[in-house]
Amino acid sequence: MITIKSSKEIEKMRAAGKITGDALREIEKHIKPGVSTAELDKIAYNFIISKGATPSFLHYNGFPGSICASPNDWVVHGIPSKDVVLAEGDIISIDMGACKDGYHGDAARTYAVGKISDEAQKLIDVTKQSFFEGIKQVVHGAKLGDVSAAIQEYVEMNGYSVVRDLVGHGIGKNLHEDPNVPNFGHKGKGVKLAQGMTLAIEPMVNAGEYDVCVLEDDWTVVTEDGSLSAHYENTILVTKDGCEILTL
């Protein structure tokens, strides 16, 4: 069931979204060669708690961290670990959420670790821009397929592929709500968007083919061909005239 948020609920979504966006900025300050993803997880946890919120991901379906930390060819759901240490030239995707007063924010960024290749930087830039191409289509009365198709078109025009097995989602009182928000699809198809819907739109983009597989820990999703992958996500509110990004 797709929920339409009341103005009171939207206020709470804004508060949760702000903490989520601020937490990512805090994490970003600490991204450098030699830092482990367990250290980044701790920074995220402490920041979220200090704002009177709780980490949305911690214990979600048994997930052991406050962030998902996925370097290089890991797509999403990487478990923070002291054994995963960032190195010069890596890229690292951080996905996280914060819950405040019963409402969630969810966002992801891919960061450069030190100096990275032009190729890796282009992947990060295209992934981020694909989100913004997608949300240009968001407005009361539009179809979800308009958003999905815009993301896919921009990514593929740049020679990359959009992951099919994982998609964005509605968000609110629950971290994952209806509808599914694929990053691929057809204009004019799918759910009709309405003001008051809140969605997590999150292109996951591979430099190679779109196929992914899951490692033996049952969490970590990696590209099947070993190519780099990037992620960019924000929680947005559908409005009469467009959308408002809640997690910048």
C-beta of 23 vs 35, nearer to Mg ion? 23
Q: Are 151 and 130 in contact (CB under 8 A)?
A: yes
Q: How far is the CB of 107 from Mg ion (least distance, A)?
A: 8
C-beta of 193 vs 200, nearer to Mg ion? 200
Q: How far is the CB of 196 from Mg ion (least distance, A)?
A: 19
Q: Are 61 and 175 in contact (CB under 8 A)?
A: no
In which region does residue 73 sit, left (phi positive, over 0), alpha (psi from -120 to 50) or beta (all else)? alpha
Burial of 247 (0-12, 13-18, 19+ CB in 10 A): buried
CA–CA gap between residue 185 and residue 133 (Å, rounded): 14
> In 3D, which of 62, 63, 44, 40 has the Cα closest to residue 53?
44
C-beta of 15 vs 204, nearer to Mg ion? 204
Q: How far is the CB of 108 from Mg ion (least distance, A)?
A: 7
C-beta of 123 vs 199, nearer to Mg ion? 199
Binding residues for Mg ion, per CB under 5 A? 106, 200, 202
Q: How far is the CB of 97 from Mg ion (least distance, A)?
A: 7
